[in-house]
Amino acid sequence: MKATLERIHREALAALEAAQTEAEVEHLRLRFLGRKGELTEAVRGLREVPPDERPAIGAYLNRIKDEVERRIAESLTALRQAERARRVAAERIDVTLPGSHHVPGHLHLITQTLEEMVDIFIGLGFSVAQGPDIEDDYHNFTALNVPRNHPARDMQDTLFITDEYLLRTHTSPVQIRVMEQQQPPLRVIAPGACYRHDDDVTHSPMFHQVEGFMVDRHVTFGDLKGVLTLALRRIFGSGTPLRFRASFFPFTEPSAEVDIGCVLCGQRDPHCRICKGSGWLEVLGSGMIDPNVFQAVGYDPEAVSGFAFGLAVERVAMLKHQISDIRLFFSNHVRFLQQF
């Protein structure tokens, strides 16, 4: 019996000395001290030892068992400390190294300009409405007094999906959808993306527009001029010169385009590259809503009147910040974006 215990003792100490991981130590604990471990079986075997030898063998067995338990605890402690030290060394931060500079992001210039314009019109009492980017022909054209084969359709290079559905060419369809669902008085703007088959330094196949309209019992062209004058001077500055020019749009009558004084030369340079010496820059189209549009939405054109206007967001941003190429907005050039 004693020889067996000496063998177990030697093997246990040698195995614990060679163990490299906690899993190996745990395996040895089960091998020697588990329910079916070698030392546990030796304890059960004491009943076979002669009674006169049993006290001495039992004491020897207990010493071996205590030492093995102590060595297992020491091995686990040492391995855990070593693992902790390794992890701390791997995760250590060298405070003498230069730090990493993380530049926070910001809103795109188009989003900044759009939100600024929306805030101005909200301040003037307008509410905000949204509509689908994929429109049907009726809401995009027909209800806006542009029936099929109307020559005004040629003014807009439309991106058709099917014969009936298209990517909206302006946000004016939202005007129709709002008036179909609500009764006057209305004072609404409809900001959003629009799509036309254009691609040059001043046009993009996708651009953004703020459509606005006001409908009530007695809305006049004077109301139109007052609202747009105040809004444009809040956008471009309180001293901005303005002029209204007669124009044509199928869904307004009478119609007017609005110009502002050149933001680059201040109307003083006959060779200005932006205004081409005219001193004026076009910024929006507007007019009194055509009676045919009111009839399309079920309004009585004899009982109500209203005006509508449309501002191109990219146009406003280009003029305010003197940007010469609209394609820069969508090029994702970091040096360009960081300026705003």
Averaged pLDDT for residues 113-122:
95
- Note the pTM of the prediction, 2 decimals: 0.67
Q: Which amino acid is at 335?
A: R
Averaged pLDDT for residues 25-52:
72
Binned at pLDDT 50, 70 and 90, residue 174 comes out as very high
Residue 332 in this model has a pLDDT that exceeds 80: yes
Rank 121-125, 161-165, 194-198 by mean pLDDT and report only the highest. 121-125
Q: Say how far apart CA 158 and CA 196 lie, in whole Å.
A: 5
Nearest of 241, 244, 238 to residue 262 by alpha carbon: 241
pLDDT of residue 157: 79
pLDDT of residue 138: 93
pLDDT of residue 202: 63
pLDDT of residue 95: 76
Rank 16-20, 54-58, 151-155, 169-173 by mean pLDDT and report only the highest. 169-173
User: What pLDDT, in 10s, does the model give residues 201-225?
Assistant: 567 788 999 999 999 999 999 999 9
The mean predicted confidence, pLDDT, of the chain is 86
User: What pLDDT, in 10s, does the model give residues 216-271?
Assistant: 999 999 999 999 999 999 999 998 999 999 999 999 999 999 999 988 788 888 88
Domain limits, the chain: 2-91, 109-337
Q: Is 267 left (phi over 0), alpha (psi -120 to 50) or beta?
A: left
Which residues lie closer than 8 Å to 59 by C-beta, 6 or more apart? none
pLDDT of residue 45: 67
Q: Say how far apart CA 321 and CA 109 lie, in whole Å.
A: 10
| Pairwise pLDDT comparison (196 vs 30), residue with the higher score | 196
User: What pLDDT, in 10s, does the model give residues 15-37?
Assistant: 777 888 888 878 877 777 777 77
Nearest of 160, 119, 155 to residue 137 by alpha carbon: 160
Averaged pLDDT for residues 286-314:
95
153, 198 Cβ separation under 8 angstroms: no
Q: How many residues does the chain have?
A: 340
Averaged pLDDT for residues 155-166:
84
Residue 301 in this model has a pLDDT that exceeds 80: yes
CATH class of 109-337: alpha beta
Which strands form 242-249's sheet, in the order they lie side by side?
127-128, 186-195, 206-216, 305-312, 280-289, 252-261, 242-249
For residue 104, give both structure tokens: 């926070």
